[in-house]
C-alpha cells in the first residue's frame, strides 16, 4: 500500500498496481457496507489513495462496483433497451431479449452468477445485490413506467420475474427451462412481462 496523497493532482506516484488496490478495497467496502453504504471516499481511504484518484480511474460508484465485481455489462444499457419506446417490439419482448443478450454470454454472466449464489447464502451479499438492483437497474427501468398506474410495483414485478428466471435457468438449471431455445423462451415470457406493464390490475 502506498501513502495517502495530499497533492492537487489526485495521482499517486510509484505504485504500479494502484488500480488493483482500489478494486480490492472496493470489494471489501462494498461487502462490509453494502452498495448504499459504500462511498468513494471510504473506498479511497481503504486503498490509501486520494478520492480524486478513484474518480480518475472509475468515474462513479456504479462503474467502480461493476469493475470490482467484474461485471462486464452496463446497467444503463439494459435499462435503456427496456425503456426504448421507439423500438418495434413491446416492452415485454424488449425486456426478455435484453435479458437473453446479457445472460446468454457465459463470460458476462459468470460474475453476476457468483453474486447471485452468494446472495442466496449470505444476507450481506443479498443486501448488496438488492441495493445495486434497486439503484442501478430498477431506478432506471422506472422511467419507462412513470406514466403507468402502479408503475413502481409493475417495474419491480418485471425485474423480479427476470431475476427469478435467471436463477432457475442459470443457477438451479431446472429443466426444461434451462435448455429451452432462446426464441421459445421469448415467445413464452414476453407476453407475461408485457402484462406487468399494461395488464389490468383488479
**95 pLDDT more than 80:** yes
Q: What is the model's pLDDT at position 88?
A: 64
Nearest to 184 by CA among 126, 100, 118: 100
pLDDT-derived band at 155, boundaries 50, 70, 90:
confident
Task: Return the pLDDT at 86.
Answer: 60
Answer with the residue of higher pLDDT: 58 or 101: 58
Q: Identify whether residues 79 and 64 lie together within a single domain.
A: no
Other residues' Cβ atoms within 10 Å of the Cβ of residue 48: 17
Q: Is residue 9 part of a domain?
A: no
The number of folded domains in the chain is: 2
Same domain as 181, residue 141: yes
Residues 81 and 98 in one domain: yes
Cβ atoms < 10 Å from Cβ of 157 = 16
CB-based burial, 126-141: b 16+ in 10 Å, e otherwise: bbbbbbbbebbbbebb
User: Could you tell me if residue 103 is inside a domain?
Assistant: yes
CA dist 91 and 94 (Å) reads 5
| pLDDT over threshold 70, residue 3 | no
Does residue 91 share a domain with residue 61? Answer: no
pLDDT, residue 187, reads 96
State the average pLDDT for the chain: 81
Reply yes or no on whether the pLDDT at 121 is more than 80: no
Same domain for 29 and 122, yes or no, is no
Q: Cβ–Cβ contacts within 10 Å for residue 144, how many?
A: 22
Tell me the CATH number at 179: 1.10.357.10
- pLDDT (0 to 100) of residue 7: 40
Q: Are residues 127 and 38 in the same domain?
A: no
Residue 2: its pLDDT value, please? 44
pLDDT at residue 11 tops 50: no
Q: How far apart are CA 80 and CA 84, in angstroms?
A: 6
For 173-202, the pLDDT digits (tens) are 999 999 999 999 999 999 999 999 888 876
Across 29-33, 52-56, 71-75, 156-160, the highest mean pLDDT is recorded for 52-56
**Tens-digit pLDDT profile for residues 77-94:** 777 777 776 666 788 998
CA dist list (Å): 45 to 52, 93, 160: 11, 44, 35
Same domain, 64 and 139: no
Q: Provide the residue range defining the domain that includes 60.
A: 18-68
Instruction: Please give the pLDDT value at position 1.
Output: 41
Amino acid at each position: 500500500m502506498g501513502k495517502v496523497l495530499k497533492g492537487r493532482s489526485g495521482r499517486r506516484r510509484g505504485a504500479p498496481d494502484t488500480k488493483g488496490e482500489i478494486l480490492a478495497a472496493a470489494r471489501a467496502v462494498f461487502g462490509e457496507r453494502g452498495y448504499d453504504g459504500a462511498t468513494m471516499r471510504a473506498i479511497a481511504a481503504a486503498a490509501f489513495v486520494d478520492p480524486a484518484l478513484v474518480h480518475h480511474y472509475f468515474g462513479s460508484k456504479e462503474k467502480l462496483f461493476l469493475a470490482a465485481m467484474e461485471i462486464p455489462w452496463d446497467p444503463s444499457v439494459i435499462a435503456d433497451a427496456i425503456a426504448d419506446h421507439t423500438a418495434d417490439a413491446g416492452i415485454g419482448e424488449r425486456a426478455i431479449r435484453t435479458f437473453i443478450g446479457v445472460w446468454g454470454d457465459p463470460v458476462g454472466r459468470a460474475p453476476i452468477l457468483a453474486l447471485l449464489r452468494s446472495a442466496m447464502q449470505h444476507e450481506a451479499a443479498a443486501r448488496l445485490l438488492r441495493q445495486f438492483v434497486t439503484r442501478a437497474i430498477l431506478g432506471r427501468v422506472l422511467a419507462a413506467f412513470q406514466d403507468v398506474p402502479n408503475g413502481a410495483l409493475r417495474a419491480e414485478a418485471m425485474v423480479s420475474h427476470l431475476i427469478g428466471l435467471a436463477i432457475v435457468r442459470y443457477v438451479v438449471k431446472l429443466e426444461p427451462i434451462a435448455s429451452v431455445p432462446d426464441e421459445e423462451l421469448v415467445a413464452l415470457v414476453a407476453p407475461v412481462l408485457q402484462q406487468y406493464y399494461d395488464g389490468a390490475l383488479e
